[in-house]
Structure 1
Amino acid sequence: MAANSLNSSNSIKGFTLIELVVGMVVLSIALVMLSSMLFPQADRAADTLHRVRSAELAHSILNEIWGKRYDQNTNANGGVPACGAAARADLGLPAGLDCTDAANLGPDTGEVRNTFNDVDDYHGLSETSNMLNSSDTYLSQYINYQLSVAVTYPNADRNSKLVTIDVTTPRGEVITYNAIRSNY
């Protein structure tokens, strides 16, 4: 009886060399799959976040622009006569003043960020410009993002202005947002 208990206590259970090798191979395959499939997903998630922040920045500027009058020479409430409008003698309406010349698009003399009052005042806005009613710049709130706003006339009759907002993400992707503002 003593011999039996001695044999059972001396048998040590463990892994064989083949089991260890197979385990390491399975673990290696799992690590390769993780590094090739899962880890790049983190980079794509960051790109998505940058695109969302880019859209947030452009949308905030567009909302602000949409609240402004079309041109310096247009009635602040819109309406009659819009700049560049022809006289309508049949309705008793005078001709509108000329719209701002393409070479003069941008802030008017003496205008600062908080006093922009028409669409083309935003021409030249960048990440170093102050945010509305703030001493903060866009760069301080959108770190490593670049911003460029351009306002142009897309056609010769000056009845619309093309607002182009280029936002460059920290990864260097340039995302362009365009909107047309009509003269009414």
Structure 2
Amino acid sequence: MKPLARLTVKTTSPGLSTSGFTLVELVVTIAIMSIALLGVAYSLQFSAQRSADPLWQSKTIKLVQAYLDEILTKRYDELTPIGGVPACSLCSSTLGTDGPVGTETRGGGANTFDDVDDYHTLNNKPPIDAAGNLRSEYANYQVEVNVSYAGSALGLSNNHFAKKIEITVTPPGQPPLVFSVYRGNY
């Protein structure tokens, strides 16, 4: 009887492989991986540069809040009675400290500012607290306060019925940040 089919087995040498990557495929893969890694490295570098932003921003907001808490607890004007009632009808026309020169000060462990516009043109570097003591945790920060009448800007009948308090804080190595609040004559 004759065999139906003949089976042949071809053997290869033990060191040679018949499958794998060509040199062109390998070079293309390396190029694509390089571009992808470059993109990842760039995004990590960008996020690392901005990683401290929330820290100094929240620190700045905390400092501004401390100044606003202090300023907004003061009387609207030198002529405003304690408690603010009745509202001051003859507000002083000039902004800044009132009374004899040197009687209203802020610093050196003392704070005799008693109304909002006493803070006009205040410039602290480093900042100080409400008692006039240095705030060492903000050693390289600068705080500037400007107060202006703003009743007309708010649509009030008298410009002296509102004051705009603008606080500019300059954190170290960062641009100045400006915060504004309005205080009404009530």
Please give the TM-score of this superposition, normalised by the length of structure 1: 0.68
The one-letter code sitting in structure 1 at the alignment partner of 2:129 is M
Give, in whole Å, the separation in 1 of the partners of 2:98 and 2:138.
23
Deviation at 1:50, TM superposition (A): 2.0
SS of structure 2 residue aligned to 1:158: helix
State the shift of 1:22 in Å. Answer: 9.2
Match of 1:130 in 2: 128
Find the partner of 2:44 among 38, 42, 45: 38
Task: For residues 5-58 of structure 1, give each alpha carbon's deviation from its aligned partner in whole angstroms, at most 9, with x where no partner exists.
Answer: xxxxxxxxxxxxx8x989986885565234301121122222222222221111
Percent of aligned positions that are identical: 36
Corresponding residue for residue 65 of structure 1: 71
Structure 1 counterpart of 2:75, which letter? Answer: R
Correspondence 1:66-145 to 2 at 5 A: 66-80=72-86, 82-83=87-88, 85=89, 98-102=90-94, 104-106=95-97, 108=99, 109-113=102-106, 114-128=111-125, 130-137=128-135, 140-145=136-141
Residues 123-154 of structure 1: CA distance to partner in whole angstroms, max 9, x if unpaired? 122233532224315xx332332211001112
Which residue number in structure 2 is paired with residue 169 of structure 1?
Answer: 171
| 5+ long unaligned stretches in structure 2 | 1-22, 153-157
CA deviation vs aligned residue, 1:93-144 (integer Å, no higher than 9, x gap): xxxxx21223x4236541122121111111122233532224315xx33233
1:45 aligned counterpart, secondary structure = coil
Task: Provide, for residues 156-184 of structure 1, a one-character-per-residue CA deviation record: whole Å limited to 9, x for no partner.
Answer: 53111110011123233221111110101
Q: Which has the higher helix share?
A: 1
CA distance in 2, matches of 1:58, 1:78: 24
Question: Partners of 1:183 and 1:60 in 2: how far apart?
Answer: 22
Aligned partner of 1:160 in structure 2 is 162
**Equivalence for 1:95:** none
CA distance in 1, matches of 2:49, 2:162: 40
Structure 1 segments unaligned to the other structure (5+ residues): 1-17, 86-97
AA matched with 2:128:
N
CA contact (8 A) 1:153 1:161 kept: yes
* RMSD of aligned alpha carbons: 3.0
Cα separation, partners in 2 of 1:57 and 1:151, compared to 1, 3 Å = same
The 1:146/1:107 distance shift into structure 2, 3 A limit, reads farther
Report the count of equivalent residues: 156
Letter of the 1:112 counterpart? T
Rg bigger for which structure? 2
